[in-house]
C-alpha cells in the first residue's frame, strides 16, 4: 500500500471515529440512582428494561447506578448535589423522604409533566406519600411517582400450621399462642426484624387503633395508648410467650432465608421479598396482613418513589420523563411486580393477561394485593430523619429491657413535638 493510500485510510478511520464520537455526544444520558433493597434479580431485570427502551429510542442512553440501600441513594445524591458533581436525572428513594428531599432542594416537581389521565390509573394508596404541602399555602405539588412500592406482610408456613391443627391467627392472642406452639429448639415461632423498627411496628400500632402518624406532616402519636400497647405486645412475644428472640433483632436480610429454610415458622417482612420466598420455599407459603389486637388485618405502605432530580437541564429532564412514562406503563409495572415481588402500581395492570396468569399460579400475589385495602400511611413528617431517630432510639431501648414502653413513648412524643413545633 502506498503512503498516499495509507494516509487516506488513516484519515477515513479518523473521520469515522469522529462521527461515532459526535453521535455519542448527541445521546441524552438518563442516569438513575437505584437501591437494591431485597433479594431478587433486580439488576438483571432493570438492565433488560434499559436495553429494550434504548433499542426503541435511539439517542437516549439509560444508565442504572446501583447504590446499595435507600439510605445510600439519598446520601450519594446529597453528596453529589452539595459537591457540584454530575447529577443523575432520576433516583429511587423512599416515599417517606419527600419532605427532607424537597426541603434540601435536591428534587423537582413532576407537575409540569404529568397529566390527570396518567395519574388516575395509579392505585390511590400509593400516592399518599407523593405530594408536598410544606409551604403552608394549601397547595400540593407532586414529587414522587410510585414504582418500587411494598407493604408489610405476615408470611407463614401453612404446612406447619396444618400439621399442628392450627388456623391462620386472627388476632394478637392467636398470633402469640400460634407462634409459641410452633417454636422449637431449632425454629423460631415468629421473627420480626426490629433494628429499623418503625415500619414493621406500624401495623401493630394500627391494629390497636392508632397509626403513629396522621395525614399531616407535623403530627405524630407516639404516646397514644394503642401505640404503647403495641410496643408492650412486642416485648410480650419473647418475655411471656418465648415465641421470638429477645431484644433487638438485626436480621432484616436474613429473615426471608430463615423462613424458607425452616428456621422460622412466621416472619413479618416486606412484600418485596415475596418473589424470592416463593422461589425458595419447599412448603405452602401463606401471606396476610398483621392481625389486629381484636381482629382484622393491618399493613402499611412502603418502598420507593421515582424522583426527578433538581438542577439537570431541560433536555435531560424531558428524556427522563419520557422514560418514566414507559417504565410506569402497566405492561412494565406488571412485569416488574412478577419478577421482583414489588407491587404493580397501575390499576389497569391487574386486568392484563400476564397478571391474571401469574396470580392463577401464585395466589399469594393477589392475597398480598388485598392488603392495600387496610394499609395505613407510612410514617413521614417534616425533619423525618431526626423524628424517626427519636422513635427508633426509644423502641430499641424498650426491646433491650432498658425502659418500659409508656415512659419511652412519652419521651419520644415530647422530643418529636419539640422538633415539629417549628413547622406548625
Domain boundaries, the chain: 27-149+302-375, 162-299+377-423
DSSP 370: H
Closest CA to 227 of 388, 395, 377: 395
The tens digit of pLDDT for each residue in 47-62 reads: 999 999 999 999 999 9
The proportion of the chain whose per-residue pLDDT surpasses 70, expressed as a percent, equals: 92
Q: Is the CB of residue 290 less than 8 Å from the CB of residue 299?
A: yes
Q: Do domains 27-149+302-375 and 162-299+377-423 have the same CATH topology?
A: yes
The pLDDT tens digits of the residues spanning 102-158 come to 999 999 999 999 999 999 999 999 998 899 986 656 678 999 999 999 999 999 999
According to the model, what pLDDT value does residue 340 have? Answer: 84
pLDDT level of residue 247 (50, 70, 90 thresholds): very high
pLDDT for residue 3:
52
Q: What is the pLDDT of residue 38?
A: 54
Residues 6 or more apart in contact with residue 179 via CB below 8 angstroms: 189, 190, 237, 241, 243, 244, 265, 266
- Say what the pLDDT of residue 118 is: 96
**All cell numbers assigned to 75:** 446520601
Cell of 365: 400475589
Look at residues 421, 405, 419, 401 and name the one whose alpha carbon lies nearest to residue 223.
Answer: 405
User: 94 has which bridge partners?
Assistant: 304
Mean pLDDT of all residues in the chain?
92
| 230's grid cell | 403495641
Query: What CATH number has the domain spanning 162-299+377-423?
Result: 3.40.190.10
| Nearest partner of 236 among 192, 206, 197, 202, judged by Cα | 192
- Do 11 and 46 form a contact (C-beta atoms < 8 A)? no
- Tell me what pLDDT residue 102 has: 94
Instruction: Read off the pLDDT of each residue in 301-316 and give the average, rounded to a whole number.
Output: 96
Non-local CB neighbours of 351 within 8 Å, separated by 6+ positions: none
CATH architecture of 27-149+302-375: 3-Layer(aba) Sandwich (3.40)
pLDDT at 2 > cutoff 70: no
**Which residues, including other chains, have CB under 8 Å from residue 32's CB and lie 6 or more apart?**
62, 63, 64, 65, 88, 89, 90, 91, 92
Q: pTM of the full predicted structure? A: 0.86
Cβ neighbour number for residue 280 with a 10 Å cutoff: 14
- pLDDT score recorded for residue 202: 98
Amino acid at each position: 500500500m502506498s503512503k498516499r493510500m495509507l494516509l487516506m485510510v488513516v484519515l477515513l478511520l479518523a473521520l469515522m471515529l469522529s462521527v461515532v464520537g459526535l453521535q455519542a455526544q448527541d445521546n441524552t444520558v438518563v442516569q438513575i440512582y437505584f437501591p437494591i433493597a431485597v433479594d431478587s434479580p433486580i439488576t438483571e431485570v432493570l438492565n433488560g428494561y434499559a436495553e429494550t427502551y434504548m433499542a426503541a429510542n435511539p439517542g437516549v442512553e439509560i444508565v442504572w447506578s446501583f447504590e446499595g440501600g435507600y439510605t445510600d441513594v439519598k446520601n450519594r445524591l446529597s453528596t453529589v448535589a452539595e459537591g457540584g458533581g454530575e447529577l443523575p436525572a432520576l433516583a429511587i428513594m423512599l416515599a417517606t423522604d419527600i419532605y427532607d428531599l424537597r426541603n434540601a432542594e435536591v428534587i423537582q416537581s413532576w407537575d409540569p409533566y404529568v397529566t390527570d389521565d396518567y395519574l388516575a390509573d395509579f392505585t390511590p394508596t400509593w400516592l399518599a406519600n407523593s405530594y408536598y404541602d410544606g409551604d403552608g399555602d394549601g397547595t400540593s405539588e407532586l414529587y414522587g411517582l410510585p414504582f418500587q412500592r411494598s407493604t408489610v406482610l405476615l408470611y407463614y408456613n401453612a404446612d406447619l400450621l396444618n400439621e399442628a391443627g392450627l388456623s391462620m391467627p386472627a388476632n394478637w392472642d392467636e398470633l402469640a399462642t400460634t407462634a409459641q406452639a410452633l417454636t422449637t429448639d431449632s425454629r423460631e415461632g415468629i421473627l420480626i426484624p426490629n433494628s429499623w423498627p418503625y415500619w414493621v411496628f406500624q401495623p401493630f400500632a394500627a391494629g390497636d387503633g392508632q397509626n403513629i402518624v396522621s395525614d399531616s406532616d407535623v403530627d405524630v402519636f407516639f404516646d397514644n395508648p394503642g401505640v404503647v400497647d403495641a410496643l408492650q405486645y412486642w416485648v410480650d412475644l419473647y418475655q411471656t410467650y418465648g415465641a421470638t428472640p429477645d431484644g433487638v433483632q438485626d436480621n432484616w436480610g436474613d429473615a426471608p432465608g430463615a423462613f424458607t429454610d425452616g428456621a422460622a415458622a412466621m416472619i413479618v417482612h416486606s412484600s418485596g421479598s415475596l418473589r424470592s420466598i416463593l422461589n425458595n420455599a419447599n412448603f405452602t407459603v401463606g401471606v396476610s396482613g398483621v392481625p389486629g389486637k381484636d381482629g382484622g388485618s393491618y399493613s402499611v405502605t412502603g418502598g420507593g418513589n421515582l424522583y426527578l432530580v433538581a438542577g439537570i437541564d431541560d433536555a435531560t429532564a424531558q428524556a427522563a420523563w419520557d422514560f418514566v412514562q414507559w417504565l410506569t406503563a402497566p405492561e412494565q409495572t406488571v412485569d416488574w411486580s412478577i419478577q421482583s415481588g414489588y407491587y404493580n402500581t397501575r390499576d389497569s395492570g391487574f386486568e392484563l393477561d400476564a397478571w391474571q396468569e401469574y396470580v392463577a399460579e401464585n395466589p399469594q400475589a393477589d392475597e398480598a394485593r388485598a392488603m392495600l385495602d387496610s394499609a395505613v400511611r407510612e410514617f413521614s413528617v417534616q425533619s423525618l430523619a431526626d423524628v424517626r431517630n427519636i422513635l427508633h432510639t426509644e423502641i430499641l431501648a424498650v426491646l433491650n429491657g432498658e425502659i418500659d414502653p409508656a415512659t419511652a413513648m412519652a419521651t419520644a412524643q415530647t422530643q418529636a413535638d419539640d422538633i415539629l413545633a417549628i413547622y406548625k
